[in-house]
């Protein structure tokens, strides 16, 4: 008889329709340190955000307060569906070019067509490589890989973009 125990995702920003999950479900992650349960994707986002904060502190600025950075990250990740891994990619690239020094600069980075293209190419290459070498992948992984990048890169300039920068009160957002 499988364990039917219900657990709750501990991530404060959990985007799932229900925080409740069966303890044995495939998408459950158990964090031994905190003894808490998370959806796997919630845990991944949580870790990616910590990684971005660390990169920022080490390579961009020690003085920036996490709340300023978090405000930008929350907007990008939870309102714009921006892939945290893409943010890391864009941030590392900008650091190399010394092209970022304040959190709101991230809005510009993730809208950079050159970066979006480079990212999509990287994701596609890695997925193909994974498919070619790992025969133990589940059919679900294969299906996911076939769908290509999860980042919606071919969309026009998103509506949130102007509203963030221009306040969006009257629709006279700044244009670029």
Binding positions for Zn ion, rule: CB under 5 A:
9, 11, 14, 16, 39, 42
Nearer CB in complex with Zn ion: 44/57? 44
Please, which residues have CB within 8 angstroms of residue 90's CB and are 6 or more apart in sequence?
A: 106, 109, 110, 112, 115, 119
- Kindly give, in sequence order, each residue whose CB lies less than 8 Å from that of residue 134, ignoring residues fewer than 6 positions away: none
Give 25 or 124: the residue with its C-beta nearer to Zn ion. 25
Least distance in angstroms from the C-beta of 169 to Zn ion: 33
**Which H or E run includes 44?**
helix 40-55
Distances (CA, A) of 78 to 42, 160, 169: 11, 12, 21
Look at residue 11 and give its three-state secondary structure.
Answer: coil
Select 9 or 69, whichever has its Cβ closest to Zn ion.
9
Q: How far is the CB of 82 from Zn ion (least distance, A)?
A: 18
Tell me the closest approach of the beta carbon of residue 27 to Zn ion, in angstroms: 9
CB of 152 to Zn ion, least distance (A): 21
Residue 161: CB atoms within 10 Å: 19
CB of 53 to Zn ion, least distance (A): 20
Least Å distance, CB 106 to Zn ion, is: 23
CB 9, CB 30: distance < 8 Å: no
Residues in Cβ contact with 176 at an 8 Å cutoff, skipping those fewer than 6 apart: 157
Beta carbon nearer to Zn ion, 23 or 124: 23
Minimum CB distance to Zn ion smaller for 39 or for 127: 39
As a whole number of angstroms, the distance between CA 153 and CA 145 comes to 16
Which residue, 16 or 71, has its beta carbon nearer to Zn ion? 16
């Amino acid at each position: 008889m499988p364990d039917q125990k219900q657990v709750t995702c501990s991530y404060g920003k959990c985007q799932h329709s229900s925080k409740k999950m069966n303890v044995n479900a495939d998408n459950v992650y158990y964090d031994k340190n905190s003894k808490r349960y998370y959806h796997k994707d919630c845990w991944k986002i949580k870790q990616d955000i910590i990684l971005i904060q660390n990169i920022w502190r080490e390579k961009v600025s020690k003085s920036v307060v996490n709340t300023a950075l978090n405000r930008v990250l929350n907007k990008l990740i939870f309102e714009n569906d921006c892939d945290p891994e893409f943010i890391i990619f864009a941030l590392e690239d900008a650091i190399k070019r010394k092209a970022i020094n304040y959190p709101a600069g991230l809005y510009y980075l993730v809208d950079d067509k050159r970066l979006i293209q480079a990212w999509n190419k990287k994701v596609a290459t890695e997925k193909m490589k994974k498919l070619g070498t790992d025969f133990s992948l589940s059919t679900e992984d294969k299906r996911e890989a076939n769908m290509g990048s999860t980042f919606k890169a071919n969309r026009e300039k998103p509506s949130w973009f102007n509203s963030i920068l221009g306040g969006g009160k009257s629709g006279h957002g700044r244009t670029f």
